[in-house]
Amino acid sequence: MPKLQGFEFWSRTLRGAHVVAPMVDQSELAWRLLSRRGAQLCYTPMLHAQVFVRDANYRKENLYCEVCPEDRPLIVQFCANDPEVFVQAALLAQDYCDAIDLNLGCPQMIAKRGHYGAFLQDEWDLLQRMILLAHEKLSVPVTCKIRVFPEIDKTVRYAQMLEKAGCQLLTVHGRTKEQKGPLSGAASWEHIKAVRKAVAIPVFANGNIQCLQDVERCLRDTGVQGVMSAEGNLHNPALFEGRSPAVWELAEEYLDIVREHPCPLSYVRAHLFKLWHHTLQVYQQLREELAKVKTLEGIAAVSQELKLRCQEEISRQEGAKPTGDLPFHWICQPYIRPGPREGSKERAGARSKRALEEEECGTEVLSKNKQKKQLRNPHKTFDPSLKPKYAKCDQCGNPKGNRCVFSLCRGCCKKRASKETADCPGHGLLFKTKLEKSLAWKEAQPELQEPQPAAPGTPGGFSEVMGSALA
């Protein structure tokens, strides 16, 4: 069957406009199946192409063991910065999905350190080679998810470059790579609209989607073929159905799916924190319990207790109306991410998320995460002046071995020592010594003679041995 391209691929394979975004540790199979009640297309979490190529267990855990007939159409997303590695990973995944997506939108620090995601958006030559090679080698279409540049015209040229290289569908997140965390702000639909008018392939919009009305307005205002939701979907997986059910309905349905399609407990816990977000602001003690439980049934028990508390509150408030703009806290509803404090927006632009948190909480107050760590280990200190200083590896930036002859970390040292057949006593790597011992041992051994097989019938021969065994 010939590979479908562009609008033919979108209309015949994807068949819809409601899309669940790729979310690390969050868009796993169980969540995708729950979201497909209203979504027509889902993405896997972002997978690391290099790890996917070299690690069979990683492939099994993240894709091969998650094959499910109901989980289609499906797009597998990879992060990569090498054309060959990207294509190798895509070839291993293409039989399990309908398209392969290249992540060019991740703005997090891990993407900066790993040199992928949105931090490739200025390397147009590299991206052209990656998309072109994938388009030539794969039997399924290649797609891209990008963030915008501040300038609309540069964003348009970026999109056109990807289209020319062979991208068959483009998802445009209407924020720049600097817009993240408390500095997210609103996504620019003007950028998305300009891209849609400038390219001849389907475009999906991402950003500012909290309810079905936002989806309809985005389709109308931008002219895109599909609308993707990430955070809105996490707080209300029934978003694309236009429903806002009681939280426990979706929580119980999700837990039932997890029992059938297991996933790491950390994923389940994170999803319930999102679903119950508003209620957990009311019942702080149950929030702590949800953070501490170690089993799926323990998480289900906390969710059940939250349900009972909400039902008791409902019985006491019959006839009451919610205060403010949001419905009652036990109803699935959007989470509006708070921005930096008013009056300090300009200064906040150049500061880290940690700096903003310290401004809000005061430098003497530990974050919730650090408080939990200190509960587990009362002697733990977070004073930066007491933190040990490590010299960095010359190649990768990890702490180097103090006695390494190459001034590298153990991983880099092992690669170099193996390549050069050298020793590093500091890391206990003795490639040169072992080779010399092996050669010396071989020289010291007399030439080994192959034993001659005994002739049949002779003493010790096969016939005699078998005869005596039978006797």
| pLDDT tens digits, one per residue of 418-442 | 889 999 998 999 999 999 888 888 8
* pLDDT single digits (tens) 341-383: 544 444 444 444 445 444 444 445 677 777 777 777 888 777 7
Residue 227 burial by Cβ neighbours in a 10 Å radius (0-12, 13-18, 19+):
buried
Percentage of the residues of the chain whose pLDDT score is greater than 70: 86
- The answer to whether the predicted template modeling score (pTM) of the entire model surpasses 0.75 is no
- Place domain 6-243 in its CATH homologous superfamily: Aldolase class I (3.20.20.70)
Q: Which tokens belong to 29?
A: 């199979």
Please enumerate in sequence order all residues whose Cβ is within 8 A of that of 463, keeping only pairs 6 or more positions apart, or say none.
456, 457
CATH 3.20.20.70 domain locations along the chain: 6-243
What is the pLDDT confidence band of residue 302, given thresholds at 50, 70 and 90?
very high
Percentage of the residues of the chain whose pLDDT score is greater than 90: 66
Q: How many residues does the chain have?
A: 471
CB-hemisphere CA count at 13 Å for 29?
23
Tell me the mean pLDDT in the region 327-337: 85
Distance of alpha carbon 62 from alpha carbon 80, whole angstroms: 16
> Given this model, what pLDDT does residue 321 score?
62
* pLDDT single digits (tens) 179-188: 988 888 899 9
> Given this model, what pLDDT does residue 360 score?
44
Distance of alpha carbon 245 from alpha carbon 237, whole angstroms: 10
* pLDDT single digits (tens) 5-39: 999 999 999 988 999 999 999 999 999 999 999 99
> Given this model, what pLDDT does residue 200 score?
97
> Given this model, what pLDDT does residue 470 score?
44
> Given this model, what pLDDT does residue 50 score?
95
- Name the catalytic one among 42, 79, 97, 106: 106
Is 106 tagged catalytic? yes
Distance of alpha carbon 333 from alpha carbon 279, whole angstroms: 11
Tell me the mean pLDDT in the region 312-338: 76
Poorest-pLDDT segment among 148-152, 156-160, 438-442 = 438-442
Poorest-pLDDT segment among 190-194, 323-327, 372-376 = 323-327
CA 46 from centroid of its chain's CA atoms? 4
Residue 406 zone, left/alpha/beta (φ > 0; ψ -120 to 50; rest): alpha
* pLDDT single digits (tens) 118-148: 999 999 999 999 999 999 999 999 999 999 9
Alpha-helical runs (H) found in 36-82: 49-54, 56-62
Q: How far is CA 236 from CA 85, 172, 196, 209, 275, in A?
A: 36, 22, 28, 11, 7
Residue type for position 119: F
> Given this model, what pLDDT does residue 43 score?
97
CB of 239 within 8 A of CB of 245? no
Q: Alpha-carbon Rg of the chain, whole angstroms?
A: 29
